[in-house]
Structure 1
Amino acid sequence: MIKSVLFAALIGMAGCSSLDQVGKTPDFSGLEGTYQHHAMYSNALPEQGDPNAATDAASLWTASRASLLGDRRAGTRGDILTVVIEIDDSAEISNSTARSRSGNQSMGIPHLLGLPQRLDDRLPEGTSMANAVSTNSSSIFSGDGSVSRNEKLTLRVAATVVEKLPNGVLRIEGQQEVRVNFELRELIVTGYVRPADISRTNEVTYDKIAGARIAYGGRGQISDVQQPRYGQQVTDLILPF
Structure 2
Amino acid sequence: MKIAKKTKSVIVLLAALCSNFSIGAVRAESLYSESSFRPLTADNKAFRIGDAVTVQVLETSSASTNADTTTRRKNGVNADFSLTRNPNITAGVNVGGDFDGGGRTQRASKLLTQLTVSVIAIQPNGDLQLAGEQILYVNDEEQRVKLEGRARPQDISDGNIILSTRLADARITYVGDGDLSERQRRGWWRRFVDWLGF
Tell whether the 8 Å contact from 1:65 to 1:71 is kept in structure 2 after alignment: no
Distance 1:214 1:65 in 2: 33
The alignment-based identity, stated in percent, is 29
Q: Which amino acid aligns with 1:215?
A: T
* 2:104 counterpart residue number: 146
Structure 1 residues 152 and 168: CA distance shift in structure 2, 3 A: same
Distance 2:197 2:69 in 1: 28
State the shift of 1:152 in Å: 2.1
SS at match of 1:96: strand
Q: What does 1:39-50 correspond to in 2, within 5 Å?
A: none
Structure 1 residues 160 and 233: CA distance shift in structure 2, 3 A: farther
State the shift of 1:70 in Å: 0.8
* 1:3 counterpart residue number: none
For structure 1, the residue ranges without an aligned partner over 5 or more in a row are 1-63, 111-116
* 2:38 counterpart residue number: 66
Q: Which amino acid aligns with 2:124?
A: P
Which of 145, 161, 165 is the aligned partner of 1:187? 145
- The yes-or-no answer on 1:200 pairing with 2:150 is no
Instruction: State how many pairs are aligned.
Output: 164
Tell whether the 8 Å contact from 2:148 to 2:172 is kept in structure 1 after alignment: yes
Q: Deviations over 1:157-214 (max 9, x none)?
A: 1111111122322221110011234222111111222222222222221122222111
Tell whether the 8 Å contact from 1:177 to 1:185 is kept in structure 2 after alignment: yes
Tell whether the 8 Å contact from 1:65 to 1:72 is kept in structure 2 after alignment: no
State the shift of 1:103 in Å: 1.9
TM-score, reference length from structure 2: 0.66
Higher relative CO (CA 8 A, sep ≥ 6), structure 1 or 2? 1
SS at match of 2:145: strand
Structure 1 residues 167 and 102: CA distance shift in structure 2, 3 A: same
TM-score, reference length from structure 1: 0.56
SS at match of 2:108: strand
Higher strand share goes to which structure? 2
Distance 2:186 2:46 in 1: 43
SS at match of 1:94: strand
Q: Deviations over 1:105-153 (max 9, x none)?
A: 346787xxxxxx6xx88xxx6685xx6x743221211122223333222
Tell whether the 8 Å contact from 1:192 to 1:211 is kept in structure 2 after alignment: yes
Q: Which amino acid aligns with 2:113?
A: L
* 1:75 counterpart residue number: 47
- The yes-or-no answer on 1:227 pairing with 2:160 is no
* 2:136 counterpart residue number: 178
Distance 1:147 1:226 in 2: 20
Distance 1:193 1:109 in 2: 83
* 1:94 counterpart residue number: 66
Higher helix share goes to which structure? 1
Structure with bigger gyration radius: 2
